[in-house]
Amino acid sequence: MATTEDVTVGKLLLAEYDRVKEEQKTRIGFRDNLLYVTLAVTVTVLIGASQTHQAAVLLALPAATSILGWTYLANDQKISAIGNYIREHLGPRLGELAGQGASPFGWETVHRGDTRRKQRKIIQCAVDLTTFSGVPLAALAAFWIYGSGKPLTVTVSALEAIAIVVLATQITLYAETDS
């Protein structure tokens, strides 16, 4: 039978911290690998289009990068949300219990104060926009120039263009370049 010495609020909060940091670490690895997967998909589709001389093959690129981009964005948002939760809720609660009044997890806040953080966030946003929006829009432009002009493929390409613009807007909104 557990006693109050075995289970304390502090121990529970530290266990929660360990779990959310583990989730954050896993999501960071997954998110970062999505960039490599997107690069591999891009090269594969471009080689396929080149070898088959079929511009319609290029339509696979916006479809794939839209899915990968949304997954990247969702994981990136969750990574940020975990950091925010630790900074604003979990850390202060533990600091209070420890009698510090401040979060014991200084790194969660200190690394955000880097003078080049805003610059890095803007550059990362540009990389994300290029990867998940610029390259697929270029593929669509090539399709529109060299494609067959069949109604179905033109309709698909227009829907893909809309999806890419929506994704680009979301990437920009979630970039957190202000902090």
Query: Model confidence over 79-107: pLDDT tens digits?
Result: 999 999 999 999 999 888 888 777 788 78
28 near 44, Cβ under 8 Å? no
User: CA torsion, points 35, 39, 40, 42, in degrees to nearest 10?
Assistant: 130
pTM (predicted TM-score): 0.88
pLDDT for 52 beyond 70: yes
Residue 114 pLDDT class (50, 70, 90 cuts): confident
Better pLDDT: 3 or 126: 126
pLDDT attached to residue 1: 53
pLDDT attached to residue 4: 59
Among 147, 174, 170, residue whose Cα is nearest residue 158? 147
Percent pLDDT > 90 in the chain is 74
61-86 tens-digit pLDDT: 999 999 999 999 999 999 999 999 99
User: CA torsion, points 136, 137, 141, 144, in degrees to nearest 10?
Assistant: 80
SS in 3 state form for 41-52?
HHHHHHHHHHHH
